[in-house]
A and B are shown apart, each in its own frame.
Chain A
């Protein structure tokens, strides 16, 4: 296979053609793992150049080979990996170097920041020692000098009180703080290249914004080039200069950020961009997402065909018989691996028209004004406090975790309420309290106007038919040893359906969620993540519930798969007149699917209202910060936006600040005068309707709308 892009000049965001010697030059990189099923060709010909100070984004879904290719650059793949091709760092070949020689490069010239900060630090050494180790491996520093430099590094990456934190162990740090430590170690020796493998995927969005900022600072400080591996097209849009899209172990499109986002020339890229819900779409522009059907191919024994062919709506005969090379569609165009690139570039096939927009029927209930619809779920002043215990021998109560601290909302028929907030804000506890259908510690939960507290055991059992749940991880929530048909039939059998009737219903349900009746005999492991989530949805719908509680139903899925599940949920709501309580941390998804949204912070709802009002005119500083932290998959908009960065981490719900619980992270609080600040300190703000707004309320003494998206 020849690689003609070797000679290509790729223009960066500013339109400059690159000149000079690349810092890191990867050519025709192949990685093959031996397995019992045969050779797994995880990476099949990756080439790119990285120049000093440049940021290259590598985008792809799980299994696309993006992480493996970066590990190959560092020489950190397991022994059963065969790596061929060439990796040159400033002209020096790295492939084939011994571990001893490679160790001198790792952490010195090429540093790395990994995905999961919770497991990336050794649990038994202090954070300070681990940074010192990164320094002393490559530099001949005295004990005191190393310590001083490590403290400096902690300070640079924004860890408050480094003197004290230096002696802490990793488990005493939050996820965001640990990622900062990782960045500190990465920049310890002024590397030339920093490889970032999904550095913010495991983090909450406000923390993600902080970490991206820390990375930018680190880059400014060291002048390093960054290779940013991610599945999030939003992160790359604002951060990278160039983008390479990977699919099935190969780059399928690469070019300057703007080229890729505004002039994609490969159906996979087009599909990816169309399948992400947009935070910046208005309710009028809202249209169904365009999912990419099917799943990526197995990497064992790939035929000579376009690997995307089975999922591509514009595939022609040649796509089945030869794999397209990465070539530009014409002069001045960026390279893409698609036989139909010329048609896409020439406009014969309109880019918007590649993927058919699915038709989602309108819900009959949507025509009815909200006030005229029946309330299906009403939560009033709900509290859930947990005692905080210490001691292994003599347990004693040392405090209270105020997980849910007085929240109220209602859901009307046929409506979707999005409940959003960062981890630890009490979303899941709220769900569990509702699902339990018993009297809460304080406040009330009512389904169809009936208080859960007053139900008898039999009535409660009956009521469970009406309120069902879908969980986040579709693999963990299906019994791996139970055929999916049985799993779906389980709620039916529990509620006394006969085996025969259940079987007929299971078939009906499988069809309803877009699967085939014969799938009932199969086991969960035979399905992809998206299909598994469809099975979970089918199980939730078995008893014809009125309310479905969705706990992060798409956050464990790849973007292209996610879109299909979101569309399915949307369609089912319209068809069956369902009401959803949709819990998510991803505000773009909520913006897309919800009618109303409630924003939670530390056990309270700080802002609630219809989606258009809350997203267009967020009035609580936390909502504003949250929305502004979300990167948009739109390079122009991203470059023009200014982020509101919140300081610090989410405080512990065991230690809630007095007055307004958001005040110690609030940017607005800082701008207030002393008397106003006192009000925030002393008075717990109540949630009140915004003046002149029908359905928009916020819990801030100084609420003021601000457009941030």
Chain B
């Protein structure tokens, strides 16, 4: 198993390199950072502009491959270049990534658990009213893109706050934490409060997605002989389903859960924007707007790494959960 993982990792390094290089070259060709300086009013003096462009390794006078070579050399030495605001990309990344982690973690865990439970529940009560209504709700969520869902949640929050009244709004929908919150519990509450709506926004889609899959795999298991064996041994229906059914049906779903969870870290763009979290998603939209090649390359690099980690993790998790799988 160890050797297997090492081999896979080596493969991944090559893949990540190719993906990131393509992203860099694409962005470097498509972005025109010089135009952004020229569009400024008052315009930046040419000397300052070129100095800054050089500092960002984005001088259009230089051939793109020369810039690329310089960037690769920097990355190899741990230097990821400067952002459009002339900050260190590395520093900016290390701040944003934790914002995203704080945003996504709860949603990821919650949606995996709820998705699996709701899907199993639906399978057990197939074609009952509850099954139909959850299915209906799932499709409703599927049909609603995040950029509709998130503002919609915000709207609800505003109405709720209005209805509840009070001097401080009950539901928060902007940023990570109230800067005036004091004390451990005060801060904790404020964080939870701020997390509530974005978590719902991120989770709903995932729960709908997971539960559909879990329902399907669970239905296959419901009619299986081993579940009948478990009940013939004397296990009660609920316990047999939980222990023998869900445990077996969750294996294929876990592959999906691992993949989606990991990729959500790079894909919470809209939720971050709508609820004002300065995570990777917000950074990504900012940097494309400001023709920031280095930041885009960094985020692409991170996403590529995440996708590959997700692939490997889902394989490992499947192998751990399913004794029949041998790597």
Contact = CB atoms under 8 A, between A and B. Distances in A.
A629 B7 CA distance: 51
A393 B229 CA distance: 37
Given A104-B234, A124-B321, A137-B234, A182 B327 contact: no
- B interface, how many residues as a size bin? 20 to 34
A138 B323 contact: no
A108 interface: yes
Nearest to B250: A124
B323 A124 contact: yes
A332 B236 CA distance: 45
A106 interface: yes
B237 interface: yes
B40 interface: no
A126 B230 CA distance: 14
Interface in A380-411: 392-394
Q: Which of B8, B231, B324 neighbours the largest number of chain A CB atoms within 10 Å of its CB?
A: B231
Q: Which of B8, B230, B247 neighbours the largest number of chain A CB atoms within 10 Å of its CB?
A: B230
Contacts of A393: 4, 7-8
B contact patch SS: helix
B230 A122 contact: yes
Interface string B303-327: 0000000000000000001111001
A103 B236 contact: yes
Interface in A92-137: 99-100, 103-108, 111-112, 114, 116, 119-126, 133-134, 137
Contacts of B321: 124
Given A122-B248, A123-B248, A106 B232 contact: yes
Contacts of B224: 119
A583 interface: no
A111 B232 contact: yes
Contacts of B168: none
A169 interface: yes
A681 interface: no
Interface in B199-218: none
Nearest to A195: B232
Contact of A119 (B225, B232, B251): B225
A227 interface: no
B142 interface: no
B235 to A, nearest CB: 6
B323 A171 contact: yes
Given A171-B324, A393-B4, A393-B8, A120 B233 contact: no
B228 interface: yes
B124 to A, nearest CB: 10
A106 B229 CA distance: 10
Contacts of A105: 234
B226 A103 contact: no
B244 interface: yes
Interface string A175-211: 0000000100100010000000000000000000000
Contacts of A103: 231, 234-236
B225 A112 contact: no
Contact of A392 (B248, B323, B327): B327
Contacts of B244: 122, 125
A107 B233 contact: yes
Given A103-B234, A103-B235, A120 B225 contact: yes
Interface residues of A, number: 34
Contacts of A392: 4, 327
Nearest to A134: B233
B247 A124 contact: yes
A241 B228 CA distance: 28
B232 A124 contact: no
B179 to A, nearest CB: 49
Contact of B233 (A99, A126, A185): A185
A44 B55 CA distance: 88
A342 interface: no
Contacts of B8: 393
A93 B194 CA distance: 59
Interface string B220-263: 00001110111111111100000010011001000000000000
A124 B251 contact: yes
A709 interface: no
B238 to A, nearest CB: 8
B226 A119 contact: yes
A12 B23 CA distance: 84
B225 A108 contact: no
A394 B6 CA distance: 13
B3 to A, nearest CB: 9
A700 B10 CA distance: 55
Given A123-B248, A123-B322, A171-B324, A76 B231 contact: yes
A243 interface: no
B117 to A, nearest CB: 18
Given A114-B228, A119-B224, A182-B229, A124 B234 contact: no
Contacts of B230: 122, 133
A465 to B, nearest CB: 43
A144 B152 CA distance: 58
A332 B7 CA distance: 79
B8 to A, nearest CB: 7
A74 B232 CA distance: 7
Given A106-B234, A137-B234, A124 B322 contact: yes
A229 B7 CA distance: 53
Given A114-B228, A122-B244, A107 B4 contact: no
Interface in A416-468: none
Nearest to B237: A99
A129 to B, nearest CB: 10
Given A121-B226, A124-B247, A393-B4, A107 B232 contact: yes
A137 B8 CA distance: 43
B231 to A, nearest CB: 6
A123 B318 CA distance: 13
Top 10 closest A-B pairs, CB basis? A107-B234, A107-B233, A119-B225, A112-B232, A122-B226, A169-B323, A137-B234, A120-B225, A134-B233, A106-B234
Given A123-B322, A133-B230, 17 more contacts: A76-B231, A76-B232, A100-B236, A103-B234, A103-B236, A106-B231, A112-B232, A114-B225, A114-B229, A116-B225, A122-B230, A124-B248, A134-B233, A189-B234, A392-B4, A393-B8, A394-B7
20 contacts: A103-B234, A103-B236, A114-B228, A114-B232, A119-B225, A120-B225, A121-B226, A122-B244, A122-B248, A123-B226, A124-B247, A124-B321, A133-B235, A137-B233, A138-B234, A171-B323, A393-B4, A393-B7, A393-B8, A394-B7
Interface of B: 4, 7-8, 224-226, 228-237, 244, 247-248, 251, 321-324, 327
